[in-house]
Amino acid sequence: MLGRTGVFAVSALVSMSILAVGVPAVQQLMAPADALRADIITLDTLKTFGNLERPTVQFLHDRHTEAVAKKNQDCTVCHLYDKQKGQQSPLYKRLVNTNKKAVMEIYHADCVSCHRETNAANQPSGPVTCGGCHKVTGTFDSSRIPIGMDKSLHYRHTKATDNKCEACHHVFDESSKKLVYVKGKEGTCRYCHGETTVENRISNQAASHLACISCHQKQLAESKDAGPVNCSGCHDPKEQKLIEVVKNVPRMKANQPDVVFVKNMREPTAATTPDTAAQMTRVPFEHKAHEQSNNTCRVCHHADLSACSECHTSSGSDKGKQITLAQAMHQVNSEQSCIGCHTIRQEQPQCAGCHASIELQAKNNTATCQVCHTPPPTDAPAGFSTMDEKQQAVMLLATRRATTGTYALTDVPDKVMIKKLSNQYLGAEMPHRKMVQTLVESSQKNKIAAYFHREDGTLCQGCHHHSPATNKPPQCASCHGQPFDARNPTRPGLMAAYHQQCMECHSAMGLKKPIATDCLACHKKK
């Protein structure tokens, strides 16, 4: 790999599949061990002109790159230089797609002739017959995984270019019909370049590969440290693990706020103040802390770097796809929403043991809402409502209380013997205090948990799900009868409740022992 630990240790974003548009139609003869590859490109260029007459072709880009390198040749063997655009064309031996016949002839004449020449020189080569390339079932399976420009890579590129953001970032100027750099308008490539090419706006795949690989090639031509120019350098799982990661990335300088209010969920009218217009009090958002907890701004800013309310208004707008601000913040199934992001974090093994519980998921109360919708403190200083918004947000954030423990260990039973159903087996001895301590230690390492576990007994509710937060919750048998109560079909019997609660927790936390089929792991035979 070229420059694995250099300043350009990886090209930005997505796959090498952009080069599929017009590279040689060839299938290299490979050993079975090479059947899983990151450089597989599907050649289907002729789809542009209508239905395909033959199956598509699997093309191994890195294998061909290595082959031409052995002949002291480079990418220009296959890719022409586009003087107008100042870059190599991603198409094979042409700058544009003209017509079906011409494109087909380029593939067949040049690819096959190259294979024949290589074969005549007694070197490993590709097929020279139609069926050798056009196969219904591909010979290779893809191991490719996507790659993104996280904050570590972004910092390394920023440092390498001496903070020249214009090296990568641009916007289209309608008046001049040119790409220009506008300071303060820097955003991810994905904000403009979508999944597919639309009119004159090329796809994100095309944009990232043309820009990144061209830059890496220039660096290499000047004998400078650079990132990869091959597919596997970015998209092979093993190669990705070798990419240098900056552990303590300095904060990006983008004039972003440290704290900010999430604007009201309902637009104020002339007769209301901002606070009384909102369904709940405004949310003071700790922007700086969220930056540190995520690898990219796109975690929240999925469309552009503007405030959420510019697209997601209180009543909905076309720009925000009619998703209101309240919906955008509370959608459970959206990675960009606050609730959705927090819910995803609950799927981590150390959290999932409790949060996988259906009963716990169903819980929703005002106290939980107020973790984010922080009400003004009762001892707020005079003039709080007229303070600068930033001052208000800072003051409200300071009132949030993090819970880092539970009840005193002396109040937590060391061991609990579950023996009410003792029949074929002896009762199960549960290391109660040890389990509580484990949950406490996990919560202390998680800032979200520390703020949302509002009570000292919140952790207890993971098991005692219908009990109030107390250090002496009622026994399970007080709700779950023995046997099953037909009058309450949604309430399992005592044995089912025990096994469901315990085994679901073990499974969600990824515990290897005890397993559901091993009764003796918890019980001893009489």
pLDDT computed for residue 65 by the predictor: 93
Q: Which two tokens stand for residue 398?
A: 């300071």
pLDDT computed for residue 17 by the predictor: 34
Burial (CB count within 10 angstroms: exposed 0-12, middle 13-18, buried 19+), residue 5? exposed
145-186 pLDDT per residue, tens: 999 899 999 999 999 999 999 999 999 998 998 899 999 889
Distance of alpha carbon 402 from alpha carbon 392, whole angstroms: 19
Distance of alpha carbon 501 from alpha carbon 495, whole angstroms: 10
Mean pLDDT of the chain: 84
| Closest among 67, 102, 85 to 94, alpha carbons compared | 102
Specify whether the CB–CB gap between 233 and 239 falls below 8 A: yes
Apex CA 121: angle with CA 117 and CA 124, to 5°? 85
363-377 pLDDT per residue, tens: 556 678 888 998 888
Q: Could you give the dihedral angle defined by the CA atoms of residues 93, 98, 101 and 103, in that order, rounded to the nearest 10 degrees? A: 20
Burial (CB count within 10 angstroms: exposed 0-12, middle 13-18, buried 19+), residue 500? middle
Distance of alpha carbon 78 from alpha carbon 86, whole angstroms: 17
Q: Is the pLDDT of residue 6 over 70?
A: no
Specify whether the CB–CB gap between 437 and 405 falls below 8 A: no
pLDDT computed for residue 274 by the predictor: 46
Task: Please list the residues that pair with 37 across neighbouring strands.
Answer: 142
Distance of alpha carbon 343 from alpha carbon 444, whole angstroms: 18
Q: How far is CA 354 from CA 238, 384, 394, 443, 477, in A?
A: 34, 39, 32, 12, 20
Across 385-406, b (16+ Cβ under 10 Å) vs e yields eeeeeeebbebbeeeeeebeeb
pLDDT computed for residue 2 by the predictor: 35
Distance of alpha carbon 203 from alpha carbon 290, whole angstroms: 30
Q: Is the pLDDT of residue 526 over 70?
A: yes
When mean pLDDT is compared across 61-65, 234-238, 378-382, the lowest value belongs to: 378-382
Distance of alpha carbon 116 from alpha carbon 195, whole angstroms: 37
191-231 pLDDT per residue, tens: 999 998 888 888 998 899 989 998 998 899 899 989 999 99
Q: Is the pLDDT of residue 79 over 80?
A: yes
Contact residues for 71 (Cβ-Cβ < 8 A; gap 6+): none
pLDDT (average), residues 491-495: 89
Which amino acid is located at 110 in the chain? D
Among 46-60, 257-271, 448-462, which range has the highest average pLDDT? 46-60
Strand 416-418 with 428-430, pairing: antiparallel
Specify whether the CB–CB gap between 477 and 420 falls below 8 A: yes
402-416 pLDDT per residue, tens: 877 889 888 899 999
pLDDT (average), residues 94-112: 93
Distance of alpha carbon 197 from alpha carbon 435, whole angstroms: 54
DSSP state of 497: H
pLDDT computed for residue 356 by the predictor: 79
Q: Map out the domains of the chain with their CATH numbers.
A: 16-142 (3.90.10.10), 151-241 (3.90.10.10), 260-397 (3.90.10.10), 411-521 (3.90.10.10)
